[in-house]
Amino acid sequence: MFMGLCALIGFTSCGSKHDEKEAETRFLVTSPLKKDTLVTRQYVCQIRAIQHIEVRALEKGYLQQIFVDEGKYVKKGQRMFQIMPLLYNAELQKAQAEANFAEIEFLNTKALADSNVVSKNELALAKAKFDEAKAMLSLAQVHLGFTDIRAPFDGIMDRFQVRLGSLLNEGDLLTTLSDNSQMWVYFNVPEAEYLSYTAAAKRDSLTKVKLLMANNQMFDYPGVVKTIEADFNNETGNIAFRATFPNPKALLRHGETGSIEMTIPLMQALIIPQKATFEVLEKKYVFMVDKDNVAHQKEIIIAAEMPDIYVIKGGLSAEDKIVFEGIRKVKDGDKIEFEYKDPKEVIPHLKVYVE
């Protein structure tokens, strides 16, 4: 009886181990899910002010006064620099005197012409001299005005390139001025992603984008893509996009860098769980199950990555079956027992659900 009890226990134990082993080697299998989806791409970007100009001297002379300071905000029309105006004042006074003299000559000649004392030709000549003198006066006024340099728009001053008392030549750089009320952010998009973007973009709609700043903080205000350049860069295969961002707190400055996050639509994309993949020598693989239930190692190409999900560019079709759970227990060429789960049931149970 004791022997029979031992045999029964042994049989039960063996059966339990067999069932446990069978349970351990039963895998979950699914297929790629084919559907339209959205992925978020990051692009390195350059941040530019909507207006960024060089302020240069329009006349030669000594820099007599500086009315602003570096890094300060200036209003449109505010005085910034003054170049010594003495010479141009003298030229203006001379031009004014010549214009007054020419006017007197013209009026006298006109009076004589009205009395038929002088010919109409003499009157026309006097009129021409008067017009020339007025033109010279206007020119002298312009030259004098060039010595008083004012802000052409509201903006922020950059550093001075000259100092008080400097001798300036026409065209010398004084400083730069930036209008940072809005920022233009430029980034390059590969051709394939550009085609996906344009195919899905609605007519007259503006795509919203986000800006990740250099400190890895997201900028508070979203931007919109308003402009795409006309031509591709043949060397890189990219085309430049320009997004416009509001900058009410003046946090962004001309010349900064960051990363643009833009949502790109992918039509009829193949989606698989990341947990169904493994890596060998920096290449991604899955175990694909054939019609004889044999698992084969298959290399795949990743088009995009999201948390818990890969979008497949190549290596699989929607009809293929792949091992979803238990891939660490599978070897290439193993014949396996599995339970198939529809990908529409698998994907929603991941942490991130693809809409």
Q: Tell me: the pLDDT tens digits for 122-163?
A: 888 888 988 888 888 888 787 777 888 999 999 999 999 999
Per the structure block, which two tokens stand in for 228? 């795409």
Q: Hey, how many other C-beta atoms are within 10 angstroms of the C-beta on 120? A: 9
Average pLDDT (222-244) is 91
212 with 259: CB under 8 angstroms? Answer: yes
Q: Please indicate, yes or no, whether the overall pTM of this predicted structure exceeds 0.85.
A: no
Does domain 61-176 fall into CATH 1.10.287.470?
A: yes
The pLDDT value recorded for residue 204 is 54
Per the structure block, which two tokens stand in for 221? 């205000």
Q: How far apart are CA 247 and CA 182, in angstroms?
A: 5
Chain segment 260-318, per-residue pLDDT in tens: 998 877 778 888 888 889 988 888 999 999 999 999 999 999 887 877 888 888 888 88
- pLDDT category of residue 179 using cuts at 50, 70 and 90: very high
175 residue type, one letter: T
335 has pLDDT over 70: yes
20 has pLDDT over 80: no
Does domain 41-50+179-267 fall into CATH 2.60.40.10?
A: no
32-36, 254-258, 281-285, 345-349: least confidently modelled range: 345-349
The pLDDT value recorded for residue 248 is 94
The fold of 27-37+269-349 is: 2.40.420
Q: How far apart are CA 118 and CA 310, in angstroms?
A: 96
More confident residue, 353 or 210: 210
- pLDDT category of residue 205 using cuts at 50, 70 and 90: low
19-33, 161-175, 252-266: least confidently modelled range: 19-33
Handedness of CA 167, 171, 176, 178 (dihedral sign): positive
Q: Enumerate the CATH 1.10.287.470 domain ranges in the chain, comma separated.
A: 61-176
Handedness of CA 238, 232, 178, 81 (dihedral sign): positive
Q: How far apart are CA 33 and CA 151, in angstroms?
A: 59
114 has pLDDT over 90: no
Segment holding 313, helix H or strand E: strand 309-314
Q: Enumerate the CATH 2.40.30.170 domain ranges in the chain, comma separated.
A: 41-50+179-267
Q: Enumerate the CATH 2.40.420.20 domain ranges in the chain, comma separated.
A: 27-37+269-349
